[in-house]
């Protein structure tokens, strides 16, 4: 039996991971869960999976969970950053699924690595902010970083059994989000409810907005650079509205290997859980006899400038990707709160990046400081726009 800990158990990836685990008839046991503020859902997860340890956002939510759960569960309840690190480093766990949203996932993911745990990574911000540090720590501790993002899982699968020196380029696919076909002027009046209607995927709010702005694909370029140890100029993006081809790998002889499948996050989750094996699933599966079209287009970086900003950040290096990420998280939340327009997300990020003097070969403290400064700069920029 494989022992699993999950960071972000009440989020989209965490819920789907628990669904995959529950379908496998006792092959996996969940011993630790980390969640945020969704106490009622976490209570149900405790009742079903009986973890030994759970962590929540703060002491108030820990108290509420204890009141809801009663004293008969046998589950210890902790809270805050230290609590998440306890979940990540639970001694008996074989694998930690890191699916917290945003920069908050960095420290617990590093804690899992330092504890010698293999990590199934859905928190792309960990590698965006601190890819060099994280991958060096994983190498030093001898642990695997198994990608859950559908694009990176696709690349990971396409690289299996191949000689890495024959790799020519990685091509990440993007759905284009809900606004790819919109005129640029129409983006001025986008409302959060419109941006949250992703055409293919069911995801959390933050990543759905990132998909709409194409920042998500920019973050994935940075993640791929570190995860697969390739220069950024060997990573490209194409828009594929059907979300059937999840990514391509091209080799020097002109051969291209692609990974295809339904747009269902349970597929890459299951592969990360079971690698190097594959778990049997009930479907749905692809029907290649049905009429279908697979389209591929160039991304429009003028309409979606967040993609270019991410490429600029990774080429600059140092603390700049952490600044990009921190400013984006603040700007996305401001858009969701209807404090800024959709088109202002990129403007806020660009302003904060322009003001940052990057630190190269940064220590963890430098990355955390850059993240904090970026958030402060973004909030100041947003306030000035309101005023």
Domains of the chain, with CATH numbers?
Answer: 2-147 (3.40.50.720), 161-263+293-386 (1.10.1740.10)
Mean of pLDDT over the chain:
95
- Token look-up 């059937």 returns 244
As beta bridge partners, residue 32 has 5, 53
Distances from the Cα of 53 to the Cα of 34, 65, 72, 118, 126, angstroms: 8, 12, 14, 19, 23
What are the distances in angstroms from CA 150 to CA 143, 223, 228, 248, 267?
21, 12, 15, 12, 8
**Between 162 and 281, whose confidence is greater?**
162
The maximal CA–CA distance of the chain, rounded, in angstroms, is 63
Contact yes or no for 374/352 (Cβ under 8 A): yes
Whether residue 200 is predicted with pLDDT greater than 90 in this model: the reply is: no
* pLDDT recorded at residue 73: 78
Q: Token match 């703060």: residue?
A: 58
pLDDT, mean of residues 175-204? 90
pLDDT at 182: 93
Q: Which of 63-72, 152-161, 302-311 has the lowest mean pLDDT?
A: 63-72
- Measured in degrees and rounded to the nearest 5, phi and psi for residue 172 equal -90, 135
Higher pLDDT, residue 25 or 143:
143
- pLDDT confidence of 70, banded at 50, 70, 90? confident
Say whether pLDDT at 386 is over 80. no
Burial level of 191, CB count in 10 A (0-12/13-18/19+)?
exposed
Q: Is the pLDDT of residue 387 over 70?
A: no
pLDDT of residue 198: 86
Is residue 111's pLDDT more than 90?
yes
| Closest by Cα among 223, 218, 199, 383 to 305 | 218
CA–CA distance, 287 with 22 (Å, rounded to integer): 26
Cα separation, 93 vs 359, in Å, equals 35
Share of the chain above pLDDT 70, in %: 99
Confidence check: pLDDT of 60 > 90: yes
More confident residue, 130 or 385: 130
pLDDT confidence bin for 157, thresholds 50/70/90:
very high
Q: Is the dihedral of CA 314, 318, 323, 326 positive or negative?
A: positive
Burial of 92 (0-12, 13-18, 19+ CB in 10 A): exposed
Structure confidence by residue, pLDDT tens digits, 317-376 = 999 999 999 999 999 999 999 999 999 999 999 999 999 999 999 999 999 999 999 999
């Amino acid at each position: 039996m494989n022992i699993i800990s999950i960071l972000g158990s009440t989020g989209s990836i965490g819920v789907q991971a628990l669904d995959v685990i529950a379908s496998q008839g006792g092959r996996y046991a969940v011993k630790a869960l980390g969640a945020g503020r969704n106490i009622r859902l976490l209570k149900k997860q405790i009742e079903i999976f009986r973890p030994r340890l759970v962590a929540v956002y703060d002491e108030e939510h820990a108290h509420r969970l204890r009141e809801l759960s009663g004293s008969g569960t046998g589950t210890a309840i902790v809270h805050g950053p230290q609590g998440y690190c306890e979940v990540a480093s639970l001694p008996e766990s074989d694998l930690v699924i890191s699916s917290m949203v945003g920069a908050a996932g960095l420290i617990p993911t590093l804690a899992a690595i330092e504890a010698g745990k293999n990590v199934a990574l859905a928190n792309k911000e960990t590698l965006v902010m601190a890819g060099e540090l994280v991958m060096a720590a994983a190498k030093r501790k001898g642990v695997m970083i198994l990608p859950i993002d559908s694009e990176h899982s696709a690349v990971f699968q396409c690289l299996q059994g191949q000689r890495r020196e024959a790799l020519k380029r990685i091509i990440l696919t993007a759905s284009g989000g809900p606004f790819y076909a919109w005129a640029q002027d129409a983006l001025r009046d986008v409302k959060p409810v419109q941006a949250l209607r992703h055409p293919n995927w069911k995801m959390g709010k933050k990543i759905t907005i990132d998909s709409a702005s194409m920042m998500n694909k920019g973050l994935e370029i940075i993640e791929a650079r570190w995860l697969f140890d390739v220069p950024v100029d060997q990573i490209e993006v194409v828009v594929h509205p059907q979300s059937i081809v999840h990514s391509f790998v091209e080799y020097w002889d002109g051969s291209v290997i692609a990974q295809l499948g339904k747009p269902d996050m349970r597929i890459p989750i299951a592969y990360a859980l079971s690698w190097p094996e594959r778990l049997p699933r009930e479907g749905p599966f692809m029907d290649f006899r049905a009429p279908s079209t697979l389209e591929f287009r160039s991304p429009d970086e003028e309409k979606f400038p967040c993609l270019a900003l991410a490429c600029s950040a990774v080429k600059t290096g140092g603390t700049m990707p952490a600044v990009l990420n921190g400013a984006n998280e603040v700007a996305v939340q401001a858009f969701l709160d209807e404090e800024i327009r959709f088109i202002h997300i990129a403007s806020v990020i660009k302003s904060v990046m322009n003001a940052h003097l990057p630190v190269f070969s940064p220590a963890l403290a430098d990355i955390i400081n850059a993240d904090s400064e970026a958030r402060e700069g973004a909030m100041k920029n947003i306030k000035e726009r309101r005023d």
